[in-house]
Amino acid sequence: MTEWLDVAAQVEALEDLPLDEGLVAEMQRRGREAATLADINFYTPTFKSFQTSEISGCGRNAWPAVSITGGDCKLQCDHCKAKILEPMIAARTPEALWQVVTGIIAGGAGGMLLTGGSNHRNEVEYDAFYPVIRRIKDTYPGFRIAVHTALAGPQAARAMADAGIDVAMMDVIGAQDTITQVYHLRRNVADFERTLESLVATGMKVVPHIVIGLHYGRLLGEWTALEIIARHRPAALVLVVVMPFYAPAHRPFVTPDAGETGRFFMQARAALPDIPLLLGCARPGGQTRTLIDTYAVMAGMNGMAHPSEGVVELAARLERRVRVTPACCSIAVGDEVMAVAGKDAGLELDLDAIVRQERERRRGTLGGIRVSGGGCCGTGDPA
């Protein structure tokens, strides 16, 4: 069997990447034991010759984020400082949420992320909004709503399900020090597990997230979070890597180690062999990002938003069945939280097509790619 290090070296964009030989060997061993690696779907804006009319015109509003608190949040976590809420669409009242949703649907949106700032207990206070959410789902049944739940008990989880929410998302934190120091929160790890248990019990699609490196760039509670998730069997798991753009100078974050991140990918795959694992949009840039993406492919992740250069080719060379969804950011985020990584997602591409497209892209052109089959997210044939 060809060594995976040698396979990576065949990809021009990855030939000088300082991969951890021991880690790659372990991933190859596990991949060999699994007999075949899972299909992988990439959400990428680079395969533009296959954009459908829906994708090419999607803009920012295909899957917008809406905050019921605007930019306000009581917690002021060290990695965020509520800044992530500021560019979202504000809908501070149920009436405003109805107006926002009718407007974005008229603009072509197929779904939204609904979130908001937390109170001091890491709860987003949705109670007043559930009737209008139910009204939205009854009026526009095809409109998808993914909700960032924060911490929630059984009653709140049931209210979300009764309102018709399609996907419940939450960050699972496995270290008390991270909860206390980064989140400034007087809750405990068990509260996060109880929330996940309550959400899964409703029958909603539940897609928890683990933020790798959340403890100031160091991995601390990620393995405990993974154990919690494995106990409760959600629909999928999204992994992201911390990007603390707004961290205070007196509490700086380091860039998480790519090798340690890759090992966590491998362990997550072993812990959840039959649950889709998706690598979300958030992760550091530069060479660290390329390393992270390479390890994600080798670890057997099922989906990846916006892969680094050469990573799609690597997956094909490792004989993974590759599908590519030409997607703007909003569609990638929407598919990420909906966990649509099924057999009909994306365009199936073969290795020759991928290599040809990569060479043409590096020359500054975007020629055609032969399509092996499949549609584009169920939206129609390639344009």
pLDDT digits (tens, 9 = 90+) for 151-183: 999 999 999 999 999 999 999 999 999 999 999
User: How far is Cα 27 from Cα 60, in angstroms, rounded to an integer?
Assistant: 37
Residue 377: which pLDDT band, with cuts at 50, 70 and 90? very low
pLDDT value of residue 41? 87
- What average pLDDT does the segment 291-317 reach? 93
Nearest-CA neighbor of 44 among 293, 321, 344, 380? Answer: 293
Q: Indicate the burial class of 178 (C-beta count within 10 angstroms; 0-12, 13-18, 19 or more).
A: buried
User: How far is Cα 13 from Cα 307, in angstroms, rounded to an integer?
Assistant: 12
Is residue 300 within 8 Å of 31, Cβ to Cβ?
yes
Q: Of 23-32, 200-209, 338-347, 356-365, which gets the smallest average pLDDT?
A: 338-347
At 88 the three-state DSSP class reads coil
State how far the alpha carbon of 326 is from the alpha carbons of 46, 47, 54, 350, in Å.
7, 6, 11, 16
pLDDT tens-place string over residues 69-107 = 999 999 989 888 878 889 899 999 999 999 999 999 999
Phi, psi of 137 (to 5 degrees): -70, -35
pLDDT value of residue 42? 86
DSSP codes of every residue in 118-171: --TTSB---GGGHHHHHHHHHH-TT-EEEEE-BS--HHHHHHHHHHT-SEEEEE
pTM for the predicted model, two decimal places: 0.88
Residue 244: which pLDDT band, with cuts at 50, 70 and 90? confident
User: How far is Cα 291 from Cα 284, in angstroms, rounded to an integer?
Assistant: 10
pLDDT value of residue 353? 80
The answer, yes or no, to whether residue 147 has pLDDT greater than 70, is yes
Q: Of 185-194, 296-305, 345-354, which gets the smallest average pLDDT?
A: 345-354
- What average pLDDT does the segment 296-314 reach? 92
pLDDT tens-place string over residues 102-117 = 999 999 888 899 999 9
DSSP codes of every residue in 61-72: GSS-EEETTTT-
pLDDT value of residue 245? 77
pLDDT value of residue 56? 42
- What average pLDDT does the segment 48-52 reach? 41
At 347 the three-state DSSP class reads strand
Upper half-sphere CA count for residue 256 (Cβ side, 13 Å): 30
Domains of the chain: 4-362 (3.20.20.70)
Which pair of tokens denotes residue 259?
Answer: 């090798």
pLDDT value of residue 99? 98
- What average pLDDT does the segment 254-278 reach? 95
pLDDT value of residue 54? 39
- What average pLDDT does the segment 121-130 reach? 97
pLDDT value of residue 230? 98
- What average pLDDT does the segment 367-381 reach? 35
Which pair of tokens denotes residue 63?
Answer: 């899957």
pLDDT value of residue 336? 61
pLDDT value of residue 69? 96
Is residue 284 within 8 Å of 243, Cβ to Cβ?
yes
Which pair of tokens denotes residue 261?
Answer: 């991140």
